[in-house]
Structure 1
Amino acid sequence: GGSWRIGCTGPPGGGKSSFIEQLGMQLLSAGRRVAVLAVDPSSRRTGGSILGDKVRMPLLSTQENAFVRPTPSKATLGGAAPSTRDAITICEEAGFDTVIIETVGVGQSETDVAEMTDMFVLLALPNSGDDVQGIKRGIMEVADAIVVTKADVDPAAANRSVATLTGALRYMSHTESDRTTPVLACSSLSGEGIDEVLRQIEFFFDDARNEHILRRRRRQRGEWFDRAIESELINRLSGLGAFHAACQVMRSQCIEGTVAPSLAVHRLLGRVLLTVREEPT
């Protein structure tokens, strides 16, 4: 529909929650209904997560036309939980015309969030301009806007970062768009610069190139389907007792080094497919 899907990522300590709260309040003032799906860090070993986003967005989470929902990332490769895609659809059906997805932090596969949003916003710290290498090229190439946060701490460093990042972008090309990626600075504490960020977001969605958003969504729906098949197959197979037992045996053999993981998976799935073929229809 006419909803806005905005992904937001950045380094730990980059002030993502504070930025999103300020932006969310501005969006509410502009008459929009805002849902924030904050993907919460899960421990890879225990699967536990803090789920403290409502605490980190105390003002936004209590507003009538806002909804803040943490979703554990369950140690997925990307920064977004598998259930996040469904949650986006549910929020839009419930009447929220702006859905913001906050991710765990920047990582190699963090660009997953770009695969489920219309606009991808990358946050950077004021000193990150001194070391552009610290920001992975792949993430900069999918960013539709880069925002240097905490500009109030050191305005001069923030301005340097904006200049350096703008310069670095000249040597990169956006993976899907020919528009110039804006680089802005703001302070979530004072609110300075947030209005300009909102203006850039409005321009992005009002732009005549809106056609590229429609193309992006069509491609994303195909990819969501592919991911859903993979996820459902794993869930269904894991629920079969015989498969689960065989899986544990193969896993143990991999750990002991008696069989290569790729060969173990090949054998395991071979057995499953054989069973399926033998079952009467």
Structure 2
Amino acid sequence: MTHAAPLPALDALIEGVRSGHRATLARAITLVESRKPAHRALAGELLQALLPQTGRALRLGITGVPGVGKSTTIDSLGSHLIARGHRVAVLAVDPSSTRTGGSILGDKTRMARLSLEERAFIRPSPAGGTLGGVAARTRETLLLCEAAGYDVVLVETVGVGQSETAVADMTDTFLVLMLPGAGDELQGIKKGIIELADIVAVNKADGANLARAKAAAGEYRAALHVLGGREPFWSVPVLTYSGLTGEGIDALWATVVSHRDRATQAGAFSARRSGQQVKWMWTLFDERVREALRRAPALRAQLPAIEQAVAAGALSPTLGAAKIADLFGWPEL
């Protein structure tokens, strides 16, 4: 007979996180990532208790196509910030296998310098198939890192896709990384992603790539001039830098800070965070309702047959959804 592991002591978790104890922070994050009802309830109490210590960090989302150098950029930027007295948390979301559910949690090997820094905290977390490649509890993890005293939180996403809105909805500034040599890359810009961008930065602006990077930046600026930005107080800048050599990293960070300052002056910073909080609440509510419905005996008994009929083409997805709603007495849905 196996026994469930005892729940961690709430007071010890609160005190440990507030004092910046890294091992306690890691345990707290594991707790909020758990789907067990008892753990979820305790996590809710923990987050509520730590709420007064949250909200003080600058939250930066970083995305870009695979191979653009997101991890190298974070390694260089994080090291730059720590050298200037900041404490940096990195929430690096790894791709989960759609076949096995596994993930490649190799962020600490991809951020060699930063992983050795005492003032840095790197948390690899499997995406788990969640929308936008954002781990199910990334937002809660972000709050825990803030409560632990990290004043810059970097959220690295799996890559560019339709669901990057999820990242923009939890960060203050959204940075889109691009490759040098516009051409095909320019054609590949997704308008929806660029509309989310607060800053566009062309990486690998070093050596033989320098001229190509500058040319690409010019073409991106022209494209952005046509598309426009998402905020009236801010024209999206296009920078060049090298994550490998660190050239341009200081200017990149200065631009991030400038965006925060301009947003604060315009009153948009607090409004954006308030809106994010409400969206966050509804996202969590939707998730809980979906989980509760799937566990309901009425649905579990009927769902395999409904899914099989839809998969076989014998039942339209619309009618399939209606049948599920009928099981709960919700004909209006």
Task: Identify whether the pair has TM-score above 0.5, normalized to the shorter chain.
Answer: yes
259 and 148 in structure 1: CA distance in 2 versus 1, 3 angstrom threshold: same
For 1:133-212, what aligned pairs fall within 5 Å after superposition?
A: 133-152=187-206, 153-207=208-262, 208-209=264-265, 211-212=267-268
Gaps of 5+ in 2: 1-54
Single out whichever of 13-22 and 214-223 deviates more from structure 2: 214-223
Find the counterpart in structure 2 of residue 227 from structure 1: 283
TM-score by length of 2: 0.78
Question: What fraction of aligned residue pairs are identical, expressed as a percent?
Answer: 43
123 and 197 in structure 1: CA distance in 2 versus 1, 3 angstrom threshold: same
Distance 2:258 2:310 in 1: 52
Task: Give the total of aligned pairs.
Answer: 274
* Offset at residue 137 of structure 1 (A): 1.2
* Offset at residue 26 of structure 1 (A): 1.1
The answer (yes or no) to whether the contact 1:38–1:102 under 8 Å persists in 2 is yes
Cα deviation, 1:57-114, whole Å, max 9, x if unaligned, reads 1221221111111111122231312211111111111111111100001112223211
Find the counterpart in structure 1 of residue 28 from structure 2: none
Higher relative contact order (CA 8 A, sep 6+): 1
Single out whichever of 228-237 and 12-21 deviates more from structure 2: 228-237
SS at match of 1:78: helix
Find the counterpart in structure 2 of residue 262 from structure 1: 318
**Which AA in structure 2 matches 1:32?**
H
**Which AA in structure 2 matches 1:70?**
P
* Offset at residue 241 of structure 1 (A): 4.0
Cα RMSD between the aligned structures?
Answer: 1.6
For 1:108-147, what aligned pairs fall within 5 Å after superposition?
A: 108-128=162-182, 131-147=185-201
120 and 177 in structure 1: CA distance in 2 versus 1, 3 angstrom threshold: farther
Find the counterpart in structure 2 of residue 248 from structure 1: 304
Find the counterpart in structure 2 of residue 72 from structure 1: 126
* Offset at residue 177 of structure 1 (A): 4.0
Pair 1:32 & 2:86 matched: yes
Distance 1:233 1:181 in 2: 38
SS at match of 2:131: coil
**Which AA in structure 1 matches 2:216?**
S
Q: Which stretches of structure 1, 4 residues or longer, exceed 4 Å deviation after superposition?
A: none
The answer (yes or no) to whether the contact 1:39–1:73 under 8 Å persists in 2 is yes
Distance 1:21 1:62 in 2: 11
Distance 1:212 1:122 in 2: 20
TM-score by length of 1: 0.92
* Offset at residue 186 of structure 1 (A): 0.8
* Offset at residue 256 of structure 1 (A): 1.4
Cα deviation, 1:166-215, whole Å, max 9, x if unaligned, reads 11111122223431111111111111111111111122223353621111
48 and 54 in structure 1: CA distance in 2 versus 1, 3 angstrom threshold: same
182 and 148 in structure 1: CA distance in 2 versus 1, 3 angstrom threshold: same
* Offset at residue 156 of structure 1 (A): 0.6
Single out whichever of 160-169 and 108-117 deviates more from structure 2: 108-117
Distance 1:95 1:265 in 2: 45
* Offset at residue 130 of structure 1 (A): 5.6
**Which AA in structure 2 matches 1:175?**
R
Distance 1:146 1:53 in 2: 23
Find the counterpart in structure 2 of residue 236 from structure 1: 292
Distance 2:294 2:304 in 1: 11
* Offset at residue 240 of structure 1 (A): 3.1
